[in-house]
Amino acid sequence: MNRENSIKLFEEAKKVIPGGVNSPVRAFKSVGGSPVFFASGNGSRMTDVDGNEYIDYIGSWGPHLFGHNPQFIQEALLEQIKKGVSFGAPSALEVQMAELLTQMLPSLEMVRMVNSGTEATMSAVRIARGYTGREKIIKFEGCYHGHADFFLIKAGSGALTFGVPTSPGVTKGNAADTLIADYNNLESVERIVSENKGQIAAIILEPVAGNMGVVKAADAFVKGLRELCTREGIILIFDEVMTGFRVAPCGAQEVLGITPDLSTFGKIIGGGLPVGAFGGKKEIMEKLSPAGPVYQAGTLSGNPLAMAAGYVAVKRLSEHKDIYKELEEKAAYLQAGFENHIKAAGKNFQVNRVGSMMTLFFTEKPVTDFASATSSDTVLFGKFFHEMLNRGVYLPPAQYEALFISTAHTQADLDETIGAMGEALKAALLQ
């Protein structure tokens, strides 16, 4: 494929944007080569600035559950644009959205809108600290909760891809208050809690990790966390920025059958627009300003564009829960196709999937945590990625990310992807 215009744009971008991109994982550093610049997206496909078309499995990193640019979201946005794009004051849309979210998720008694997943997780930790009067938190190696200072300690996603688990600019004080446990290892958590008795404000967890690749929290592990937090007065936070409304109507907490104290959301609840939210128990959330002393604010929080798009997206999910059955069938079909080609190649690479999220790990060890995820052959993944790209399939440009299936992916899309995967895998293994 000719990508002359993408290459030219990247060179221009590097002169005015650090690294040429506005989010590190877009830079293709872990797979090599130059990133693709896109001009448009429609349904299951995107078209780049050179006119090449790709079946897209990123979906803007999760929110495009209905594919790119669906008509009903377009209509909601156009209608709201005529009324106003931002007020900096309350609107009825915010109330409607909050009521819808609290109706759909039993764990949400109150919710506050923010503008990103990072804001949501950062604010959830702040209110947990304010509520408990404690300062330390526990996070898990390989989990990514945004780029707030206290999260960039052995983080996943771009931080993992770039091999910078502790970012420069993070203070020693922040690092000292963030304690690291092993994902799917309850003993490691219990040991930390015992060593820091009465000092842990919160445990934050991706219940289905998507930022070291897709890794599901084991049932016994997450049940043990719930019991431990209840016993020790620790706030259990589920980071559902990626999984909320994607893996099930009530997110990963429905899949796992566990009720967290606080949850964070993003992506899908904005219908593809920048948005986030955090919420949970009323007694905790009422500590938030202006009802309580814990301060959090945002001029564009709950802005009418994001609320208009998000409301119609979540409303459709609430009214058509058969969408999840459709997504499950499509994702299972794609997984089976991948696994058949892996077997035919004489390999035992791992395909982890939860609902419509999936990762092909280039390792023959079961992937259950950070250590097993990083046993993957990232060089081979890079070769495979480019072979798929050259066949018109756009996958996440990093081994440690999830691909996403949407309702817009057709049977023809899936079959084309599976066919491309077989050819790409053979080609990558021969290099």
Between 71-83 and 304-319, two packed helices, what is the crossing angle to 10 degrees? 150
**SS3 assignment, position 210:** coil
Active-site residue (options: 48, 56, 182, 239) = 239
Is 239 a catalytic site residue? yes
Q: Cβ–Cβ contacts within 10 Å for residue 367, how many?
A: 23
The whole-angstrom separation of Cα 165 and Cα 187 is 23
Both structure tokens of 351: 């395909």
Using alpha carbons only, what angle is made at residue 299 by residues 293 and 303, rounded to the nearest 5 degrees? 115
Both structure tokens of 211: 């930022």
Q: Are strands 235-239 and 200-205 parallel, antiparallel or unpaired?
A: parallel
Is 50 a catalytic site residue? no
Active-site residue (options: 144, 311, 324, 394) = 144
Q: Where are the beta strands (DSSP E) in 57-212?
A: 110-114, 136-140, 178-181, 200-205, 208-209
Q: Are strands 215-216 and 235-239 parallel, antiparallel or unpaired?
A: unpaired
- 109: buried, middle or exposed (CB in 10 Å: 19+, 13-18, 0-12)? middle
Active-site residue (options: 154, 267, 330, 383) = 267
Residue matched to tokens 């060179």: 11
- Calculate the alpha carbon distances from 426 to 182, 188, 282, 343, 421 in Å: 35, 40, 54, 12, 9
Is 144 a catalytic site residue? yes
Both structure tokens of 86: 């931002």
The whole-angstrom separation of Cα 68 and Cα 47 is 11
Q: Tell me the catalytic residues.
A: 144, 239, 267
